[in-house]
Structure 1
Amino acid sequence: MALNATKTIVEREGAAALSTRKIANEIGYTVGSLYLVFANLDDLIFQVNARTLSELAAELDRAAARSNTPKAALVELGLAYFRFATSNLGRWELIFGRGSPAANASPEWYRNRIPVLFDRVERLLVQLAPSRKPGEVALAARALWGGVHGICTLALTDKLGIAGLSDAEPLLTTLIETFLSGWMQRS
């Protein structure tokens, strides 16, 4: 119940509005009762974020399945990431925004979920450039994600217009296709 209440509050009011008091009020419990189940608010947030990451992973898998080439699949992954963030802005902010728990404070079980998301990108990159070393593939996956994430952040914070742009999707497609062309050329 607390996890669902957290999701509801974040979707309704944004990540910055989250507090244990609001969560407890949402489910009709006391704040103290939350601490019988969760160590603290960060623990609860990590649990919600883990659910969100699982939903994102499923959405990414559906997007990649719609493509018939690795390059097209990578473009679809980037677009799916943006669309997921747009549709789930509050929960996306809970993972990446101000007020989210510090990454270095995250429990090991949570940290282990992150590489699984990059695995999708790495497998596709290997298909495009099978001679690349695993370290190069891992670095490329993270560099590409950094660019996609940056565009998403600009778009979702209404700062994309600073660059004279209004639509993130063509920008994402250009970034991914250009990155892949250059990366494959260096293989």
Structure 2
Amino acid sequence: MTRLSLSFLMGLSLMLGACGSSDPVARPPLAGAKIGGPFRLTAGDGRSVTDRDFAGRYRVVYFGYTFCPDVCPTDMQAIGAGLRLLERRAPAKAAKVAALFITVDPARDTPAVVRQFAATFSPRIIGLTGTPKQIAAVKTAYGVWSQKGEASPGGGYLVNHTRQVYLMDPDGKPLALIPADQGPEAVAASLEQWVR
């Protein structure tokens, strides 16, 4: 075999070997997206909370409202159960995650109300509310839309809103959408994939 042939075969072997390996660090689907940013809101205990309070931690961020009759409780149940699965399977990863529920209905969702709602699904989920101006700003930063629906005869109302669960990295940059609509197993699997 000539020196050229041997070099060619060795090079081809190296290339084919590289094709067969999988890159364990895939590029996050939301990398580089303009989602998120600074915020100042109010936690369930009444204290002021900013995005900097979560620096260094991954953040699961969900927008909804406590009077939601169906979608929000279903998503929150999946998030809470997914966090519990992650705690059992990968406790070190779970310890790096903060979960935030941010209301889109600040008129009814007081600090006490968001605290109770979030705690229903997991003691790890932090309920956040704020003034209408604060909520509008954080919704804009996260690309969230909501609109108050028509009032019912009893004075209640629904709030139409977008439905997504963001995973943000420890620097507050977007990584991926968490598929809460697919249940707790999908939430846990997604967190296991992206939390390092």
TM-score with structure 1 length normalisation?
Answer: 0.25
Q: Which has the higher contact order (CA 8 A, sep 6+)?
A: 2
Q: Which has the higher helix share?
A: 1
Larger Cα-atom Rg: 2
Q: Which has the higher strand share?
A: 2
